[in-house]
Structure 1
């Protein structure tokens, strides 16, 4: 009995009941016809009615009251009438935004079936291995660094290195730099983003627990002490299965779109205007 009471008092049940009554009344007032409506008649289809109801409950998380329902129908009627007037005036012709929107809809229809595809385990495993770089855990580096002043000569470099080897604090020697004097387990790609292309690779190749350098970055020249190096790993498929499946479906969607485009273009003959040599880039 409590379960039945919960169902009967559910707002969702009230929403569907209200929707059924409202759109049922609309159906009685506007009986369906096999013939298309005259140009001056705005006929709300069952599909559009369901869309209006679904949009409301999705955004408001409740059923519309009668006044809101009338406002929804009126807004739909304004939109439908405005679209018809715009089409009659040819306002859709040559409009880049409308053309792009129509193209996007066609491409979406072409790739939408990919969302429902489920590969077998062997297919997903093969895809995972072939794209291991996407899903692996990046190598990580821990190191201390000192950014040397510009135009530091070899003798000065050795003097700074000697201070560091004797226990000088890298932070004190990095006073004029905004770069972190110590980095703990930073992913190798992040090291590259912070310090510049190639810096992470050079640091990873240094000997452990020893001040080395100079090492060059996008900021200048550094002395670096490599404290730790964690190798990248590829986790078991089951730990990242959802992500791998999402990527596989995205790749399938792209293939479907490209196949659709190729098939679409085969149905047409492309005719181009002649371009004089002077107009060629």
Structure 2
């Protein structure tokens, strides 16, 4: 016996309307119902034949469904202002505009000696064109208003942070990158800025709900494990499989 409840029938019509921005015609609705019947009958036949047993895709889908149901209430939760502000302050790094730098750089020749580097700095400070010096590379000689994180994607880990710490408008270095050693002239350093809560309220609320959802999912897993006694092979005597 297959029974389509009024609630499920309404969901079919609502799903159609959400996709096509209009309610289904009588014929379209009959086709929706027909497809539901075929799907329901097929699922029951597959379960009767045991197709769900040992199928990794189905098992993962069922697990995901249970975890989704466990965390779904978070999507509708609305914290009070004090809770949201406390979350915003505790996680300020998530919402701050990243610090930015503007700089010039030249890549030093491999094995450049200290006295050669100092001589190069002197030339640069005296107004020499930096594009005519250095070993050359497929790297931008000038960088404008780039976040330190993006700088590190271009030049390598640690380079952005090192550049941001340099004195302003002086040729400094060497600064190491994934390409070698550089002389760098930091032109502008803009500090990280935390916008007012009202400017990012929607984003903060979304992040708060996401954190609540993660917590609900972990609590669900904990409760689930408490309901079962687990027996495992003796790996120490038999060895791991």
Q: TM-score, normalised by structure 2?
A: 0.91
Q: State which of 46, 52, 61 in structure 2 corresponds to 1:92.
A: 52
- Secondary structure, aligned partner of 1:128: helix
Change (3 A) 1:49 1:142: same
Q: How many residues align?
A: 241
Higher relative contact order (CA 8 A, sep 6+): 2
Q: State which of 106, 116, 125 in structure 2 corresponds to 1:165.
A: 125
Contact 2:108 2:135 survives alignment (8 Å): no
Aligned to 2:101: 141
Cα distance in 1 for partners of 2:240, 2:40 equals: 45
Aligned to 1:271: 231
- Secondary structure, aligned partner of 2:235: coil
Aligned to 1:215: 175
- Secondary structure, aligned partner of 1:144: strand
Change (3 A) 1:175 1:152: closer
1:199 aligns with 2:147: no
Aligned to 2:42: 82
For residue 170 of structure 1, report the CA deviation from its aligned partner.
2.8
Q: Deviations over 1:71-119 (max 9, x none)?
A: 2222212111111110110001111111111111111111111112211
Identify unmatched segments of 5+ residues in structure 1.
1-40
Within 5 Å, give how 1:51-70 maps onto structure 2. 51-70=11-30
Identify unmatched segments of 5+ residues in structure 2.
none
Aligned to 1:227: 187
RMSD of aligned alpha carbons: 2.0
Aligned to 1:21: none
Aligned to 1:126: 86
For residue 271 of structure 1, report the CA deviation from its aligned partner.
1.1
Q: TM-score, normalised by structure 1?
A: 0.79
